[in-house]
Chain A
Amino acid sequence: MPNYKSNHNGSGRARSGLISLGFFVLSVVTLYLPDSSQDEVASLLRGSLLRPFILAQEGLVRRSIHAEDTEDLQRQLDSLEVVIANSNTLAEENDRLRRLLTLSNRNPAQYVAASVIRSGTPGSESMFMLDVGTRSGVTRDSPVIMGRGLLGVVREAQANSATAMDWTHPQFAVSAMTVDGAVYGIARATPGRFREADRLLLNGVPFRQELGPGVSLVTSGLGGVYPRGIPIGVVIEESAAEEGWQRSYWLQPFVSPGEATHANVLVPDDGEPRDVSAWLEGGPTLPGRAPAPDEGAAGTRDTEAPTSR
């Protein structure tokens, strides 16, 4: 450290003080900028000065994905082949029933595969970036899904990248229901003592309806952001935080944000609205739990929405 030199004259010191005061005021203004302006500034910086670092991480993530254990990937591929083989019969049966009911075919949901990139800087704990953007059809509010369930939702989409929040974000909320559609509620992120202890809390369940531990919940499709039927999590226990004639339940989400390196983004098909009930159609959708035959039938029945004839 150089020895102290008081080479400030009075006017220089005053000017420096004014400059620092100006930056202090500017920092306070930054804190209270509208969300849209904050997003613009952040995306401008991510797309310019910080772009090389993000590109480097994208490259590293791709390399690590390519280096995955091939035996593990082979096992997943084998499992998927079995699921597809089993689904063929169901799809055929579904087509026949649709014809009998004179229902039109529904458009399948479209997905875009994306690499998940986390910045690892303070304050960015619940957000991640995706290496796909509007050119791939990703828009604001596109749901982000991992193999086992809902990971989050896109907050902002640029041409070739997007910013998304996972379910641990305090502003995250999703309308949830049981697989048979009998019980509805709103699942919100609830911070734990540590980030690893973050969970979802299902609110708004009528007092007369009880959910036991182990009941799986999926998205209900209400609100139009998340398609119906994406697995969310499983009920752990009832929460003590009851409000009036309502019950609350702690959920253990199926997807842990920390393990996300690769995800699928659900995109609208050529501007057409998404098929919001395609998720529950034809086969098991919930991780680690195949639906019982009657439950599967009920689930399919509940998700059927008449379309134009």
Chain B
Amino acid sequence: MRPPLRVWGVVGFLILLHFGLHVSLGLGESAPDLLVVALLLAAREVHIGQGAALGFFLGVLDDAFSVLAFGANTFAMTLVGMGGARTRDLFVGDSLLFLTSYLVLGKWMRDFLHWVAVGQDLRESFVDTMLIQSPISAAYAGVVGLAVIAVSGLGWETIR
């Protein structure tokens, strides 16, 4: 199975846009987590090994700016890449509901894994992080992910 060139094109564009918004413009939390959107979209098109590799690569890039817990993003993104690729075998579907749930849960899971990996000393409270902040950013990523799907056509074959 070879993912179409369009997938890698969209992934590359989202990576550039993510660091452009977060680093170059310094928008921080105001900008959506486009790395996880890119990973989740690509993971549905590739093998589990490629999903893990892409997640690892994106996680290391994210960790380049992390002093608090280097490796936590890598760990979280690798597992999300694996999980995203695995959903291809478990769930067959591309309905709007499925894609929304996939993107939102994927982002929430990435935040949860990061929260677990970040270590007890640096970990903020579960309620604040995972039940308040993360659902908001997951919904944000979900909306942006759907917009990317609508524009790029990825994962939209049967809905159009």
Interfacial residues, chain A to chain B (CB-CB below 8 A): 1-5, 7-8, 12, 15-20, 22-24, 26-28, 30-33, 38, 41-42, 45-46, 49-50, 53-54, 56-57, 60-61, 117-127, 155, 163, 165, 169-170, 191, 193-194
Contacts and interface: CB of A to CB of B under 8 A. Distances in A.
Interface of B: 1, 19-20, 22-29, 31, 33, 44-45, 47-53, 55-56, 59-75, 77-79, 81-82, 85, 88, 92-94, 99, 114, 117-118, 121-122, 124-125, 128, 154-158
Given A45-B61, A127-B65, A27 B71 contact: yes
A46 B60 CA distance: 11
Contacts of A18: 49
A120 B49 contact: no
B26 A122 contact: no
Nearest to B44: A1
A19 B53 CA distance: 8
A50 B61 contact: yes
Contacts of A45: 60-61, 64
Contact of A30 (B19, B27, B70, B156): B70
Contacts of A2: 45, 157
A49 B121 CA distance: 30
Most buried by B among A61, A123, A125: A123
Contacts of A57: 23-26
A191 B78 CA distance: 28
A15 B49 contact: yes
B160 to A, nearest CB: 11
Given A57-B23, A121-B65, 17 more contacts: A2-B157, A4-B92, A12-B47, A19-B49, A20-B49, A20-B82, A31-B72, A31-B75, A38-B71, A41-B64, A41-B70, A56-B23, A60-B26, A118-B26, A124-B67, A165-B67, A193-B128
A42 B63 contact: yes
15 contacts: A16-B49, A28-B75, A32-B71, A38-B70, A42-B63, A50-B19, A118-B26, A119-B23, A120-B26, A120-B28, A121-B23, A122-B114, A123-B62, A124-B68, A125-B68
